[in-house]
Structure 1
């Protein structure tokens, strides 16, 4: 064979080998892609199954705990009075635990079910409080004249300092109490936790997180700004304060001369209040979107101007105890 022919044969063999290598690479690439797609589908199927299983576990567990709590609440009617305080403390703690369980499960629940569950938790909380008020009413002042004389004196049980503290403040995971003229902050440590603020004066409090609930008692001349709350905010005995809060339910008791800038997904309730005004929630900070995600609060549902006054029964007249904040006073720069 001539040398030139050998060269041609070698070149053809090399071209064949290169072509064969290219074909093998393409086939291997296709096989790798096929296996990757199979693995991806398996993972997606597993993820969907996991979400469904997690959701089913939540519904089963939540339903069981709800029924147990309702059954225990019914039994309170037959309990001895000296056991009721401990029982209601236990019910409150169980409700808070159930609320935390819900908050931790919102990531795999449909938005409709999130709202339905929030409504159930709110009703349970109201039922516990109403039953407590019924079976353990707060003592009222009694008046008694001295046996021989005209002097009238108040008769009331002597209480130790702190005995009238709200149980929710005592049980809260995070709290600020008994301070004056302070700038106070809580951040992500309050996510999915119960927060309490009590007996504060001339303080500014910023809650940069997504608590499960907030309990507020006896504040004077304070400004409170909070990120979205997955459950309820309870406010009692406050005067000359400003609240900028977002929550599922807002209940306000014995509060006067106070402004509220709120995002609330149900009707806010006031009782024994006067000179309180309401405007839309208007606070923002860098992490607020992620905190809305944690809380599960619906940003598109806000009943900030729909207030229910328990002390005003006339349907045809507006309650004199509350009003709306003028538009010119709603664009505050809280930072």
Structure 2
């Protein structure tokens, strides 16, 4: 009786299968290790680049700060008829420094940006104080009764307010795209007009603003009952003295000052900051328009990283209690279709 022998191929199949499975597992493990190593190298490169950029920024910022302080200290040597031009020139240097900070926010930490902003605020106050001393306002010669001198705190407050207004005016003046003083209008800027440029919006009432593109920064001041829609901003958005508005925008950093009764639909990659603001509400960014994905890439914003509900209130120091000055917009109350 003859027996049928197994072919060599059939007898080796189970072992070959096991061998192939082992090889696959080893290859998969090797690929995963390689991918992880590559990821770490890329992260290290990004970290090194950011550190190098930060070092470069701090060096340039320090040099420009010293330049402004040097010009300020030499004010006494300027002829009286050249003082106005002298102080205007110093203020122009400070405005350029502000723009430099705005353009650098994409790689700076919140601490570095806050520190730089504080330094610039102090410089602005110093410039204004020196200017008021060197170029005093004319006084009337016929005062019938003495006025009570304002308190020191009021003087400081007035100087700071004047400094902020001066800085804001310079930001508007230097902005490459701007809308100023419009009422009850629909205002638009296209990709070609605003791509990687500074944008300023000031003194608008009952307006709708549409910015379809990727600005480098947006400066917003004194808007009343307006709606502002923007594409991704590679740097910072600064908002001051707005009432009853709605802002729908993505950005690297968001700074909100002296603003009330306003809603924010935002994508922000760092913490948004509010100061001297009340009744502000927040929700995720949800405006859609053609080429939005491309504009995100141009701006360099990470769509997966959105801290829209992580808000720092500089006027609220209780770490364990929620600030009463901001809240999250309930899902049922959020606008989904903007109809613009």
Does the 8 Å CA contact 2:209/2:227 hold for their aligned counterparts? Answer: yes
TM-score of the two chains, using structure 1 as the length reference: 0.66
Aligned to 1:11: none
Which of 122, 135, 150 is matched with 1:134 structurally?
Answer: 122
Structure 2: tracts of 5 or more residues without a match:
1-47, 76-85, 130-142
Partner SS for 2:321: coil
1:294 matches 2:298: yes
TM-score of the two chains, using structure 2 as the length reference: 0.65
Aligned to 1:205: 209
C-alpha distance after superposition, 1:157-211 (max 9, x if no partner)? 9x9xx86743211110000000000011001110100000000000000000000
Partner SS for 1:199: strand
Structure 1: tracts of 5 or more residues without a match:
1-55, 103-116, 141-145
Partner SS for 2:254: strand
Is the alpha carbon distance of 1:331 and 1:57 closer, same or farther for their aligned partners in structure 2, counting shifts above 3 Å? closer
Aligned to 1:72: 64
- Paired residues for 1:147-226 under 5 Å: 165-188=168-191, 189-226=193-230
The alpha carbon displacement at 1:87 in A equals: 3.7
Is the alpha carbon distance of 1:76 and 1:275 closer, same or farther for their aligned partners in structure 2, counting shifts above 3 Å? same
Q: Which moved more, 1:77-86 or 1:273-282?
A: 77-86
Equivalenced residues, count: 257
C-alpha RMSD of the superposition: 3.6
Q: Which moved more, 1:252-261 or 1:85-94?
A: 85-94
Is the alpha carbon distance of 1:313 and 1:84 closer, same or farther for their aligned partners in structure 2, counting shifts above 3 Å? farther
Does the 8 Å CA contact 1:270/1:310 hold for their aligned counterparts? Answer: yes
Bigger Cα Rg: 1
The alpha carbon displacement at 1:131 in A equals: 1.4
Is the alpha carbon distance of 1:149 and 1:196 closer, same or farther for their aligned partners in structure 2, counting shifts above 3 Å? closer
Which of 311, 315, 326 is matched with 1:307 structurally?
Answer: 311
* 1-structure distance, mates of 2:238, 2:180: 16
Does the 8 Å CA contact 1:62/1:98 hold for their aligned counterparts? Answer: no
* 2-structure distance, mates of 1:328, 1:167: 41
Is the alpha carbon distance of 1:151 and 1:67 closer, same or farther for their aligned partners in structure 2, counting shifts above 3 Å? closer
1:333 matches 2:337: yes
